[in-house]
């Protein structure tokens, strides 16, 4: 659990293997909890229906397991995230943070000015990618198990998108300077957040 010292308290909860986590009861009020997990979908709010959430996961190749539920996370931007959590995870979150906390995911991170942009959030074992041209074209969370996985994914992304046309905005959640150099080598128009 990572917190910051700003007035608006936020924490990020790592769902180990996508199915378990532990958190001590926070000593101060937390306003927002980030749930980084590969079991996340981004959908237009206008198309969301609670009864169709499990079907959306199945259509994305991630069927909901018997012990999982879908947590819908709404925003005021017209998009929402669907996060698959076990019942135990949802109960633990409710116990630790109460019912008034807002949940979020890196896929809901606002990008701002929308020129042709590839937004990447690299959390070391998860890579979040959103492509805008000029509107949102794609959003995905990809689990990376090794540096070879990351290299392959980033190389394919660099070969697929026109790196001279697209600005790549990187949110690198690591102090790994070698990884940053790798991004700079692959993407001509790289901006770090």
> Where exactly does CATH 3.30.420.260 map onto the chain?
109-192
Q: Please, are residues 115 and 165 in contact by the beta-carbon 8 Å criterion?
A: no
Q: Residue for token digits 């070698």?
A: 178
State the pLDDT at residue 188.
86
- Tell whether domain 2-107 is in CATH 3.30.420.250: yes
Q: Which two tokens stand for residue 186?
A: 């692959």
Supply the pTM of this predicted model.
Answer: 0.81
State the pLDDT at residue 120.
94
State the pLDDT at residue 25.
52
State the pLDDT at residue 116.
92
> What DSSP character marks residue 16?
B
Three-state SS for 57?
Answer: helix
The number of helix segments (H) and strand segments (E) in the chain equals 4, 12
State the pLDDT at residue 39.
94
H-run or E-run covering 80: strand 79-86
Distance CA 142, CA 57 (A): 14
Question: pLDDT per position in the chain (193 positions), as tens?
Answer: 333 333 445 566 655 444 334 455 556 677 888 999 999 999 999 989 989 999 999 999 999 999 999 999 988 778 899 999 999 999 988 888 888 889 999 999 888 767 899 999 999 899 999 999 888 899 999 999 998 999 899 999 999 888 788 999 999 988 888 889 999 999 989 999 8
> Which CA distances in Å does 58 have to 44, 128, 152?
17, 20, 26
State the pLDDT at residue 69.
93
Could you tell me the CATH superfamily of domain 109-192?
Answer: Protein of unknown function DUF3822, C-terminal domain (3.30.420.260)
Q: Report the DSSP pairing between strands 117-122 and 126-132.
A: antiparallel
State the pLDDT at residue 56.
92
State the pLDDT at residue 174.
83
């Amino acid at each position: 659990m990572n917190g910051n010292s700003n007035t608006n308290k936020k924490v990020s909860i790592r769902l180990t293997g996508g199915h378990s986590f532990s958190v001590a009861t926070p000593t101060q009020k937390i306003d927002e909890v980030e749930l980084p997990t590969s079991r996340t979908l981004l959908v237009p709010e206008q198309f969301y229906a609670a009864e169709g959430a499990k079907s959306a996961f199945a259509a994305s190749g991630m069927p909901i397991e018997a012990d999982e539920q879908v947590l819908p996370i709404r925003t005021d931007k017209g998009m929402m995230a669907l996060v698959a959590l076990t019942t135990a995870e949802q109960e633990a979150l409710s116990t630790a943070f109460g019912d008034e906390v807002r949940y979020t995911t890196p896929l809901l991170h606002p990008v701002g000015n929308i020129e042709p942009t590839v937004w990447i959030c690299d959390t070391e074992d998860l890579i979040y990618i959103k492509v805008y041209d000029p509107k949102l074209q794609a959003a995905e969370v990809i689990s990376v198990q090794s540096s070879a996985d990351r290299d392959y994914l980033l190389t394919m992304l660099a070969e697929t998108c026109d790196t001279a046309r697209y600005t790549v905005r990187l949110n690198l959640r690591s102090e790994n300077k070698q990884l940053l150099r790798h991004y700079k080598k692959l993407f001509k128009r790289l901006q770090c957040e």
